[in-house]
Chains A and B, each alone.
Chain A
């Protein structure tokens, strides 16, 4: 099986420039510097590389939204705010292969005539930020960052910017506000970041994994990358599996592999003979599916066809014996905590969802409470500046649609049939 990213992740020295280079690193950068810029962009388009942060927007198309004129300097921002519950792959890239990301930054910036890059790393990843900073310092020392890179006359500065604990900052316009020293409030779009982004400048925001794929695409060509995946969704993905499986962790797998294979072949199946009850397939914000729905290709379009999303690659495995009301209650506490407070439907709605679920779980649910939740959901979905409200609604609705009887039973019996615990 062809691997794009993780081949050398078992090598503890791979995070250093010398070892990375001995194993073929920075060759793609040299190749890119000999290519016409538009050809690099064309290869990324051919690669069908869809953004790995969750939205799945084609990276090459996103790059094309930059204004044509170069009168205003452009900015590249790497979204390393990895915060979607169930997702822990960018942390792996940053700690095991930070130069993949840095080489991707150099190639992308060169191709798009960008001279300033920022890596926005979530605040909790203190050690990862240190490793990335060390790798950036090594890249400067080798002349791969800074002035006149490889004698090309091309300059690039890259700065690590640490977040400070706010899920919302993974949303790209909130991230830009946070980079600018503001509260992480999402911006009204348009204007889109490609025209008015960081510091008022045209800006491209790409996820860590997305940008780390770029060197391989330049080396092997966009068509080869595309051929690893499925139609319209190329390459491999870092799939994160968590919950009670035998081998939880990050697996690099071809886009389109079946979800069943991810769970039972790669992650080793369920622990302790437990049975599978449900899967949240693409991070906590994606609609839950039942155990009998896992014969589906793990790619953006196939997942969409069955009403859910591959999202950010975070597969959360829920075993039989789990109270779905309690599980949803945990998630809604999260969204209520993380709503930035800017839009009323989200600020109030997330709180209502959390409170009503808590009382249902605690045996204090009232008749009509399940309808109340669905009604609140209707008043949140699509009515806010950013998708955080939608991100709360998608699990709330899907948990109820797929496991309605459990919610009704809590209300009817005035207690949690699972004993009010996990």
Chain B
């Protein structure tokens, strides 16, 4: 079945559209809405956004692939994005990434077999004063240590059941 927005998302979409002078400017916000609704931006999701806004799928895909936050492939329920830039590296990020890799049994870029976690390394998250930092879905976790990471991951795993 081809994807489509729920009624609530459709209403958010219409309100958002009214803020812009043209539909092109709505491409990024619509892709954000689509990713939230569909989990990732599959080919079908791209087609849906293209139809919704009146552009070719290629035009939408060209935008979606430029920006790192749009996931073209499925990601786990919790997307762990660990900063690997300089301030975080100076505060131990490399070791934390290795620790997470070992703990989860996946390399950066990988997803656990049960689909709970995807581990990614990312560039500067703009939170260098509380390095090392990772973003889990929408939320930042700062001043990370191996212990705090264990607590975060164990907590999320319990939440996931």
Decide yes or no whether B148 CB sits under 8 A from chain A.
no
Given the interface pairs A85-B86, A163-B67, the reply to whether A181 lies near B24 with Cβ below 8 Å is yes
Decide yes or no whether A125 CB sits under 8 A from chain B.
yes
Contacting pair B85 A85 (CB below 8 A): yes
CB < 8 Å neighbour of A422 from B22, B31, B89, B126 = B89
In the bound complex, residues from chain A placing their C-beta under 8 Å from that of B28 are 161-164, 178, 181
Decide yes or no whether A184 CB sits under 8 A from chain B.
yes
User: Which residue in chain B gives the minimum CB-CB distance to A164?
Assistant: B67
Contacting pair A124 B87 (CB below 8 A): no
In the bound complex, residues from chain A placing their C-beta under 8 Å from that of B125 are 124
* Residue count of chain B within 8 Å CB distance of chain A: 43
In the bound complex, residues from chain A placing their C-beta under 8 Å from that of B66 are 166, 183-184, 340
Contacting pair A334 B129 (CB below 8 A): no
Tell me the bound Cα distance from A250 to B126 in angstroms: 12
Tell me the bound Cα distance from A244 to B87 in angstroms: 9
In the bound complex, residues from chain B placing their C-beta under 8 Å from that of A126 are 138-139
User: Which residue in chain B gives the minimum CB-CB distance to A75?
Assistant: B21
In the bound complex, residues from chain B placing their C-beta under 8 Å from that of A318 are 90
Contacting pair A164 B70 (CB below 8 A): yes
Give A residues with C-beta under 8 Å from B: 82-88, 90-91, 122-127, 157, 159, 161-167, 178-184, 199, 240-244, 248-250, 280, 284, 314, 316-319, 322, 327, 330-331, 333-334, 337-338, 340, 421-422
B92 to chain A, nearest CB (A): 7
User: Which residue in chain A gives the minimum CB-CB distance to B70?
Assistant: A164
In the bound complex, residues from chain A placing their C-beta under 8 Å from that of B62 are 183
Tell me the bound Cα distance from A89 to B135 in angstroms: 18
Contacting pair A243 B69 (CB below 8 A): no
B130 to chain A, nearest CB (A): 7
Decide yes or no whether B27 CB sits under 8 A from chain A.
yes
Contacting pair A85 B129 (CB below 8 A): no
Q: Chain B, 136-156, contact with A by CB distance < 8 Å: what is the 0/1 string?
A: 001110000000000000000
Q: Can you list 7 A-B contacts with CB-CB less than 8 angstroms, sorted by A residue number?
A: A123-B32, A164-B68, A243-B87, A284-B86, A330-B89, A338-B123, A422-B95
